[in-house]
Amino acid sequence: MASKKAEIIHILKKEILTLTLTPGTVVSEMTLTERFSLSRTPIRDILKQLSAEGYIDIYPQRGSIVSYIDLESVEQIIYMRSTMEKDIIKSLGGNVPLQGIHQLGLILDQQQACIDNKEDDHDFFDLDDQFHKLIYSLAGHEFIWDMMQQFIVHYTRYRRLHMLKQDKRLSILDDHRRIKDYLVSGHEKDVDEMVHHHLRADVKSKYFQEHFSDYIKK
């Protein structure tokens, strides 16, 4: 069944995004055929798709490896998200239906719980995505969120490493609260600056490049 392939793709994506499979790790077709008890053909389909989304790099007749993090891609995605979300949030300010506000609040509560319980970063990460996706959705642009997800490999891994360096969860949650406040009231709060501050990152800082040079594309 087709869902079996989808499941394997999901597993591999997760392992790559959480850096369980580190950049540079060899992922040969034979290895995967044994691990998942499938023949080469469907495994190749899976590798092709992972390759198309930047998760792995296939070198013909040589082998395939987990891709190295491409900081250029990270910068471009951040710029794109920043630009789109400024526009979306402004168009939404003061016009969000009650149920939407409620859903946003629920996510923020869960994020707060994550911090209080000192839980794993993992859930906080997911909730962060849920928050932003919900905003796209409320504006009728879930399509655009989903589309960008196909280019998110490098950005997601970057965020994960960045998180390791310093815990920014409190600051992130605070940003989210301010965004929600604006969406409720629509009162001027310099949305551009707010979103810019929230998503901005000094991607190509020397510190980051030196600290994680093993993971980064040169």
Site of interaction with its own copies (CB under 8 A): 2, 41, 45, 48-49, 52, 60, 72-73, 76, 79-80, 83-84, 87, 141, 143-144, 147, 150-151
Residue 171 and residue 167: Cα distance in Å, rounded? 9
- Which of 87/129 has CB closer to its own copies? 87
User: What are the Cα distances from residue 131, in Å, to 89, 91, 99, 122?
Assistant: 12, 17, 14, 15
- Name the binder of 62 from its own copies, DNA, none, CB < 5-8 A by kind: DNA
- Which of 59/207 has CB closer to DNA? 59
Q: In the bound complex, what is the minimum distance in angstroms from residue 209's beta carbon to its own copies?
A: 19
Site of interaction with DNA (CB under 7 A): 1-2, 4-5, 27-31, 38-42, 44-45, 58-64
Determine contact, residues 13/54, Cβ cutoff 8 Å: no
| DSSP label at residue 127 | H
Q: In the bound complex, what is the minimum distance in angstroms from residue 70's beta carbon to DNA?
A: 20
- Which of 36/215 has CB closer to DNA? 36
Sequence letter at residue 105: G
Residues in CB range of 70: below 8 A, 6 or more apart: 54, 154, 217
- Name the binder of 5 from DNA, its own copies, none, CB < 5-8 A by kind: DNA
Q: In the bound complex, what is the minimum distance in angstroms from residue 2's beta carbon to its own copies?
A: 6
Residues in CB range of 167: below 8 A, 6 or more apart: none
Q: In the bound complex, what is the minimum distance in angstroms from residue 12's beta carbon to its own copies?
A: 16
- Which of 64/73 has CB closer to DNA? 64
Q: Is 37 exposed, middle or buried (0-12, 13-18, 19+ CB in 10 A)?
A: exposed
Residue 214 and residue 19: Cα distance in Å, rounded? 12
- Name the binder of 80 from its own copies, DNA, none, CB < 5-8 A by kind: its own copies
Count CA atoms within 13 Å of residue 114 on its CB side: 21
